[in-house]
Structure 1
Amino acid sequence: MKTRLTILTAVLMLSTMFGVNAQTKESKYGVDSAKTVLNASLYSEMVKQKNYKDALPNWRYVFNNAPKFQRSTYSKGVDIMRSMFVSTKNPKYIDTLMMVYDQRIKYYGSNRKYPTGWILGRKGGDFFTYSKKEPVLIKKAYDIMKKSIEIQGVDSEAAVVNKTMEAGKLLVLAGKLSPEAVIDDYLSFMDLLKNQMEKYPKKVTNIKAAIVNVENDFFAAGVADCETLSNIFTPKFEANPDDMVLINKIMKMLNRQECEDGALYAKVAEQKYKLEPSADAAHNLAKMFIKKKQFSKSKEYLSKSIGLEEDAEVKADLHFKLASILLMEHNLVASRNNALAAIKNKPNWGQPYLLIGKCYAAGSKEFPGKMHEKQAVYWVAVDKFMKAKSVDPECAEEANKLIQTYSKYFPAKEEAFMQGLKEGETYKVGDWINETTKIRLNE
């Protein structure tokens, strides 16, 4: 009762200020300012109490008679309609919910913070969530959300991107959307979410969750396996072999799904390098030859890609791949040099340090000198493993395993005593390694 008296007092004051029935239909207060304020106050109080059923008549008056009164008419209207539908399952509330969004666009679509594109995303998302999961209705929701993403771009809500991918999955499974359309959505959505990570660092948790959901929905759509991708894109590529937009799309998709060993990948990768001999094109060919275990060819194209690449992180990855192949071939000096180049381009990456340690360990048996000099190589190997986890915590688990494995090969104290070696003293490992370390001994 006290609340109603307070509201009534406020209404009487406004009546004095504006004059009851003095407003025209063009006014944000409608034709009766006092009645508008009274109804708005009443339904707002009921919404706070989550009494949506009783709030509905007062809200409806403001919605119908003073649509420009305040933006909260629409945000609270959404809450009311959602609640009424959940409690009654009556589809008329979904229709009204859509009207709420449409009217908000009409009167508040130019709002900077919540513009038309944002409102469309909420509208499509709610339609997808609350309407029946019938293909025709899913398609309607999908189209609304796609329009929102088209308008909003990187400012799209992650939840809207997520729901659009889910809707696309359901549509392709129902035969109402082409596999290529779902692939296009997946590629553009993943790029969009990646860009959002950079623009909105405070929303990283939500964006990461959306990325996981988009990935899961895409795989569940049944168009992600290499055979399906080949069936979709082979005829398109053969019909348009010089279309770089198509070629880049195919390469992006095949790379994401690790389809480097297929016939389509070979054709498209070679054509891309022929038309556009870029670092990316050379890298694609290198990955193909790695998958086919044709390592001399892969080294050739990795070297070409390194020479053309300008991005430091990508260059680091290329050097690391080349170093890995060289280690496998026991070309230890060249392997270490490429790992060092990777570190130079990406200093806080631990994997190249692990690789250098493995190079040292692999060269211990053939290292020149006496037994303790060969064993000393494990000191510098372990140094690299320790360095790896110090710069890159993600490497800690692997680094710890390698440290445990190779520490067993340190010289024994008794043998070290005979060679004049003392725990903790500085020691120089020469030859091609040429590094200074500390003596560590086993019992």
Structure 2
Amino acid sequence: MKTRFTIVTVVLLLSSMFTVKAQTLESKYGLDSAQTVLNASLYVEMVKQKNYEEALPGWRYVFQNAPAFQKTTYIKGVSIMRGMLRKTKNPKYVDTLMMVYDQRIKYFGKDRKYPEGWILGRKGGDLFNYKRKHIPSVKEAYGILKKSIEMQQLKSEAKVINYTMEASGILVKAGEIEPEEVIDNYLLFMDMAEKQKKAETKQAKIDNIENARLNVERIFFKAGVADCETLSNIFTPKFEANKDDIVLINKILRMLNRQECEDGALYAKVAERKYELEPNADAAHNLAKMFIKKKEFGKSIGYLEQAIELEEDADIKADLHYKLAYIQLSQSKLSAARSNALKAAQLRSGWGEPYILIGKAYAAYAPKYGTKPIEKKYVYWVAVDKFKKAKAVDSECAEEANNQIRTYSKHFPNKENAFFEGIKDGDVIKVGDWINETTKARLNE
């Protein structure tokens, strides 16, 4: 009570300083300046103490009688309504919360830092959070959030984008919106994230944007609207009507690639059209992926080689070399497979898969190496060396590498056969031919 008495005393002193003049609801201090200042001081103090119930009467007076007084009315109003919701679970406070946002837009919607679009994002987010189990409310929140993004563009907050994506996932399952709308949202938000990252210089903010992007992706694929058949049904008529729209073509390919739909009729048409319009590394890569998915490896090689030649991004180039190495391994072009796998490993450090591929290439060559049966077994030593290197540089490869090690270690020469060749455990052995590597002897019993 002492705090309340002190505030009242100060306010009464201050009120005597106001010049008497005509006051209206739209005036800064509302209908009664002394009452406005008094009630504002009282409720702000209560909010600081998180005593939202006692803050409510004073806040309500200012909200109703001096709506243009200060932005704090609406900032604290949100805190009060959220606090009362936590305490009472009474849905009437959600309605009041929406009124708080609406009135803030009316009186402070032109604020440069927090304009109408920003306020709508907070309003839609709260409506969605508090009524996500009520489909009509989710639909209303979704409309508010979409309007916020339309107004804010690249200034849209990550949580507003996430709420919009999550709401669209709920609405499509409820039959309230079409799958195409969810896909359009996803593509828009992915583009926005890339542009936001490019425009940002602070690493912490870049990381936040990336985390938001990954969350949007998770929400989207959880919605279950991106199977190959649905994508084909949605995008085929769009493509047929806009075959020269490279932006649309790139969006379609991005979606189909993400869902591994490279063997469908739509992918073939779109990938070939992109290659006609823009015969660049990305276009060549798309066609290569299509032929790989169809297991037409011979046709994919030329496009992969062209993509490698044109590609400037080291990480993508590493992937291209690896894919080419994989095909060459399947065609028993073992030396070429090793060469491309090594290039892949050089371009992307800490990647173990290329070394596993090299190990498999060595093991595949073992029956052709040397003239004596025991010499053929030497190759398994260098093969296992590569599997060990794979897990040493890349822990994610450890399981596969260990499986390969167990498989091929069984083929090492035994001590009896090695004895007749004068070989002991630990001896340095040179494996020649195109392999041309030095290893250490390891003998089985």
Shorter-chain TM-score tier: 0.7 to 0.9
Match of 1:128 in 2: 128
Of 12, 17, 27, the residue aligned with 1:19 is 17
- SS, match of residue 436 in structure 1: strand
Residue deviations 1:109-147 (CA, integer Å, cap 9, x gap): 6354x5544332211112223347666644432222123
The runs of 5 or more residues in structure 1 that have no matched partner are none
Alignment CA distance shift 1:434-1:54 (3 Å): same
- Larger CA deviation: 274-283 vs 200-209: 200-209
- Counterpart of 1:442 in 2: which secondary structure? coil
Distance 1:179 1:205 in 2: 24
Amino acid at match of 2:348: K
For residues 173 and 324 of structure 2, the distance between their equivalents in structure 1, rounded to whole angstroms, comes to: 41
Give 2:217's aligned residue: 211
Per the alignment, in what secondary structure is the counterpart of residue 364 of structure 1? helix
Corresponding residue for residue 200 of structure 2: none
2:207 to 201, 211, 236: 201
Pick aligned residue for 1:310 from 283, 287, 312: 312
Q: What is the alpha-carbon distance in structure 2 between the residues aligned to residue 292 and residue 431 of structure 1?
A: 34
1:185 counterpart residue number: 185
Q: Which moved more, 1:72-81 or 1:358-367?
A: 72-81
**1:399 Cα offset (Å):** 1.8
Moved more, 43-52 or 236-245: 43-52
1:243 Cα deviation from its structure 2 partner: 2.4
How many residues are treated as equivalent by the alignment? 436
Partner Cα distance (2:426, 2:29) in 1: 84
Moved more, 270-279 or 94-103: 94-103
Structure 1 204/423 Cα, relative in aligned 2: closer, same or farther at 3 Å? farther
Letter of the 2:394 counterpart:
D
CA distance in 1, matches of 2:62, 2:347: 62
Instruction: For 1:247-262, list aligned pairs within 5 A.
Output: 247-262=249-264
Query: 1:370: which partner in 2?
Result: 372
Q: 1:74 to 1:377 in 2, by over 3 A?
A: farther
Q: More deviation in 236-245 or 333-342?
A: 236-245
Q: In structure 2, what is the Cα distance between the partners aligned to 1:202 and 1:419? A: 62
The CA distance in 2 between the partners of 1:36 and 1:372, in whole Å, is 97
The answer to whether the 8 Å contact 2:390/2:401 transfers is yes
Aligned to 2:412, what secondary structure does the other structure show? coil
Deviations 1:35-68 (A, max 9, x none): 4454344334544555433321112223345556
| Contact 2:158/2:209 (<8 A) preserved | no
Aligned partners of 1:149 and 1:156 also within 8 Å:
yes
Instruction: Identify the residue that residue 276 of structure 1 maps to in structure 2.
Output: 278
Contact 2:428-2:440 within 8 A present in 1 as well: yes
* Selected match of 1:346 from 339, 345, 348: 348
Partner of 1:319: 321
- State the partner residue of 1:287: 289
State the AA in 1 paired with 2:181.
A
RMSD, aligned CA? 3.3
Which residue number in structure 1 is paired with residue 245 of structure 2? Answer: 243
| Distance change >3 Å, CA 109–CA 396, structure 1 → 2 | farther
Whether the aligned pair in 2 keeps the contact of 1:158 and 1:210 (CA below 8 Å) is no
1:413 aligns with 2:415: yes
Residue 435 of structure 2 aligns with which residue?
433
Provide the residue aligned with 2:81 in structure 1: 81
TM-superposed CA distance for 1:154, in Å, is 5.3
Contact 1:101/1:123 (<8 A) preserved? yes
1:360 & 1:153 partners in 2: Cα distance?
54
TM-score for the superposition, normalised by structure 1: 0.85
**Partner deviation per Cα, 1:169-198 (whole Å, 9 max, x = no partner):** 344445543432221112222444567787
User: Which one-letter code corresponds to 2:418 in the other structure?
Assistant: A
Find the aligned partners of 2:359 and 2:118 in 1 and give their Cα distance. 52
Match in the other structure for 1:357: 359
Instruction: Flag structure 2 segments of 5+ consecutive residues without an equivalent.
Output: 198-202
Structure 2 distance, partners of 1:12, 1:349, is 73
CA distance in 2, matches of 1:63, 1:422: 91
Change (3 A) 1:414 1:111: farther
- Give the counterpart letter for 1:127 in structure 2: L
One-letter amino acid of the structure 1 residue matched with residue 242 of structure 2: N
Cα shift at 1:252: 1.8
Counterparts of 1:149 and 1:264, CA distance in 2: 31
Q: How far apart are the structure 2 equivalents of 1:281 and 1:53?
A: 63
Inter-CA distance 36–408: structure 2 relative to 1 (3 Å threshold): farther
User: What letter matches 2:219 in structure 1?
Assistant: N
Instruction: Report if the CA contact (8 A) 1:20-1:32 is conserved.
Output: no
Structure-to-structure mapping, 1:219-230, within 5 angstroms: 219=224, 223-230=225-232
Alignment-derived partner of residue 389 in structure 2: 387
Partner Cα distance (1:102, 1:423) in 2: 81
SS in 1 for 2:435: coil
Q: How does 1:92-103 map to 2 (within 5 A)?
A: 92-103=92-103
1:332 corresponds to 2:330: no
Q: Per-residue displacement from partner, 1:221-247 (whole Å, max 9, x unpaired)?
A: xx3222222222222222332222222
How far apart are 1:393 and its partner, in Å? 2.1
- 1:403 lines up with 2:401 in the alignment: no
SS at match of 1:437: strand
Deviation at 1:72, TM superposition (A): 4.5
5 Å-filtered alignment, 1:296-307, equals 296-307=298-309
TM-score of the pair, normalised by structure 2: 0.84
Which whole-Å CA distance do the structure 1 matches of 2:32 and 2:153 have between them?
A: 41
CA distance in 1, matches of 2:100, 2:59: 11
In structure 2, the partner of 1:164 is 164
Deviation larger for 22-31 or 50-59 = 22-31
Task: State the alpha-carbon separation in 1 of the partners of residues 38 and 57 from structure 2.
Answer: 12
